[in-house]
Amino acid sequence: MADSVRVRFAPSPTGPLHIGGVRTALYNYLYAKKNNGSFLLRIEDTDQKRTVSGAEEYIYSALEWLGIVPDESPKHEGSLGPYHQSERNEIYEKWVQILIDKGLAYYAFDTLEELDAHRKEHEKKGKTFIYNWHNRLKLKNSLSVSAKETGEKIKSGAPYVIRFLMWNDGDDEVVRCPDIIRGNVDVDCKLLDDKILYKSDGFPTYHFANVVDDHLMKISHVIRGEEWLPSLALHIKLYDAFGWTTPSFAHLPLILKPNGKGKLSKRDGDQLGFPVFPIQWGEEMKGYRETGFLPEAVVNFLALLGWNNGDEQEVFTIEEMISLFDLNRVHHASARFDPEKNKWFNQQHIQALSLSSFAQLCKAEVERHTQTYLTDEKLLSMAEMVQPRVVLLGDLWPALKIFFEAPDEYDSKAIKKVWKENTATLLQTVAERLVNEDHLKTDAFKSLLQSIAEGAGTGIGALMGPLRLVLVGSLTGPDLLQLTHTLGARVVIDRINIALMEIS
Ligand code: GLU
């Protein structure tokens, strides 16, 4: 095994990066940072037919937004590149030749039609066709025909693939597959097929390129999704065939749909109305970013889909996660995706922002919607009132709007509840008495309300509800005295007057 921790995220650019892929990237990142190691991004683009334009850029943008920044990547290569598999063909050609020379890989000339016919024939007999030790000598390959014939076929340009010789008489039958999360799994090699290492299009398959690259890039730990577990035996056999030491493996648990029934899929977002992508893809598919999530919240809820620190803590900063992350604490049971809980994580991270950072978010939002110039004092005061009320960043403007615009409408249930016969007169008195105050000190304003209420033989409560209603349109919202202080006397008077026309 390599001395230092080197891990990699190795996506294929076949579409937007799904939240499950992001979790894999995150666990690799956390593990690397925890161990002062390196986190690599390798683009596995050997399957040219499946490569989708824009998908690679999407991977960079998504990781950047989330702060999961690779130490080595196609954009920032280390010494063991290239980091695009499509640029490594010469390397794969060299290594596949080594396997052929060792007698551990061979050319196969069977056409797709022939293989299909074999499959169908087997099916008819209720059997499964597996290309391996028990029939390879009856099929068309360099083991079943002479070297001369093989040479001639290749020369004549006949299409071929290169297959791995999985098991031969005399070899060990069992391959032990150790996994940090699942322990050891023993697999019977005789049940496995002679996997294709090189396709007829001249490109290596995932399995071959992946193993060669992990070795040459000195990967110490392979941390990836559970869907790759069935390939582990083949990968270990490939390392053995080269005489290479295997890295350690950790296969992460599946992420399930919110109802727990089946794997979370790319389509679930559309159907169930929550994002399954980090950032927007195309026109329709919104990401967590566009839905108003903070990247630190997304990283937090993803980290907990499969890992916990063994205690009750759920909200973590990235630094805390780095220091606590442990592959031995990743569970193998599938993790259920919970969109509602994800919002809760976002809210927690919004509350955890310092007032000045949160105020910067507010400032950007205000600038987007109005031309108003804000003093720092005013901005901070608004931010302070709004921060406890925001779950998603999309809640920012609706919460801030009350500082800039009179309500569009007044909640009719609230009117029924608080609007009494004397309300209009009371509010009018407030407006009149405010005329000489340009700055509403909260204490002074409270005394003013008290004296007006007392003068009318009622309590301050009779004024608070209606005042809130005329200022924000409903009975919810921030502390009334802080609100009026921030709005200023002029705005309060205007809103009283507007409401008196609308409501009375
Ligand atoms: N290219 C594979 C994928 O798209 C990588 C799997 C692995 O990490 O070995 O998931």
Please answer whether residues 482 and 445 qualify as being in contact, where contact means their C-beta atoms are separated by less than 8 angstroms: no
Residue 126: Cβ-neighbour burial (10 angstroms; 0-12, 13-18, 19+): exposed
Residue 174's DSSP bridge partners are: 188
pLDDT score recorded for residue 267 = 84
Residue 442 has pLDDT above 90, yes or no: no
Rounded to the nearest 10°, the torsion over CA 287, 293, 297, 299 is 20
Q: Which of 290, 267, 270, 263 is nearest to 278 (CA)?
A: 290
Which secondary-structure segment (H or E) carries 104?
none
DSSP bridge partners of 108: 141, 161
Pair 485, 381: CB distance under 8 Å: yes
Give me the mean pLDDT over the 57-80 stretch: 97
At residue 496 the predicted structure's pLDDT band, cuts being 50, 70 and 90, is very high
Q: Which of 23, 210, 214, 238 to mutate to test the pocket of ligand 1 (most atoms within 8 A of CB)?
A: 210
> pLDDT tens-digit profile of 134-180?
999 999 999 999 999 999 999 999 999 999 999 999 999 999 999 99
Angle at 344 between CA 341 and CA 350, to 5 degrees: 150
Using an 8 Å Cβ cutoff, are 403 and 382 in contact?
yes
Q: How far does the centroid of ligand 1 lie from the alpha carbon of residue 447, in Å?
A: 68
- Considering the chain, what is the average pLDDT of its residues? 95
d(CA 189, CA 176): 10
CA distances from 292 to 287, 344, 395 (A): 9, 12, 8
Q: CA angle, corner 434, sides to 428 and 438, nearest 5? A: 150
For the record, the structure tokens of 225 come out as 């999704």
Q: Interior CA angle at 455 toward 429 and 452, to 5°?
A: 40
Alpha carbon nearest to ligand 1 atom 10, residue = 11
| pLDDT of the residue at 284 | 81
User: Each residue of 72-117: pLDDT tens digit?
Assistant: 999 999 999 999 999 999 999 999 999 999 999 999 999 999 999 9
10 CA distance to ligand 1 middle (Å): 5
Indicate which residues carry an active-site annotation: 266
Q: Are 92 and 212 in contact (CB under 8 A)?
A: yes
Tell me the per-residue pLDDT of 209-247, one tens digit each, with 9 for 90 and over.
999 999 999 999 999 999 999 999 999 999 999 999 999
Distance 319 CA to ligand 1 centre (A): 27
Of 112, 98, 114, nearest in space to 208 by CA: 98
Q: Examine the pLDDT at 438 and tell me if it is beyond 70.
A: no
Q: What's the pLDDT score for residue 205? A: 96
CA-to-CA dists, residue 316 to 113, 296, 297, angstroms: 55, 9, 9
Q: Which residues line ligand 1 (CB under 6 A)?
A: 10-12, 44, 206, 210, 224, 228
- C-alpha 119/C-alpha 124 separation (Å) is 9
Q: How far apart are CA 144 and CA 96, in angstroms?
A: 19
Task: With cut-offs at 50, 70 and 90, classify the pLDDT of residue 70.
Answer: very high
Q: How far apart are CA 423 and CA 359, in angstroms?
A: 35
Show the 3-state SS of 147-169.
HHHHHHHHHCCCCCEEEECCCCC
- Can you tell me which residue has the tokens 């995220």? 9
Which pLDDT score is estimated for 270? 75
Q: How far is the CA of 183 from the centre of ligand 1 (A)?
A: 21
On whether the CB atoms of residues 318 and 336 are closer than 8 A, the answer is no
Question: How many of the other CB atoms lie within 10 Å of CB of 113?
Answer: 8
**Gap between the Cα atoms of 41 and 58, Å rounded:** 13
Position 1 pLDDT exceeds 60: no
In the chain, the amino acid numbered 372 is T
Residues 6+ apart with CB under 8 A from 482: 381, 384, 385, 442
Pocket test for ligand 1, best of 7, 12, 22, 51 (most atoms within 8 A of CB): 12
Closest C-alpha to ligand 1, atom 3: 11
Please give the model's pTM, rounded to 2 decimal places: 0.93
271: pLDDT confidence band, cut at 50, 70 and 90? confident
Number of H helices, E strands in the chain: 20, 11
Confidence category of residue 444, pLDDT binned at 50, 70, 90: confident
Crossing angle of helices 19-34 and 295-303, in 10° steps, is 80
The per-residue b/e assignment along 133-159, b for 16 or more CB within 10 angstroms, e otherwise, is: beebeebbbbbbeeeeebeebeeeeee
pLDDT interval class at 2 (50, 70, 90): very low
Ligand 1 centroid to Cα of residue 45, in Å, is 10
How far CA 308 is from CA of 9, 21, 190, 314, in Å, comes to: 21, 19, 38, 8
Dihedrals φ, ψ of 161, to 5°?
-120, 165
Distance CA 31, CA 191 (A): 34
Atom of ligand 1 nearest to the CA of 224: 8
- Residues 404 and 483 sit within 8 Å (Cβ to Cβ): no
CB 316 within 8 A of CB 303: yes
Name the DSSP class of 8.
Answer: E
The residue nearest atom 6 of ligand 1, judged by CA position, is 10
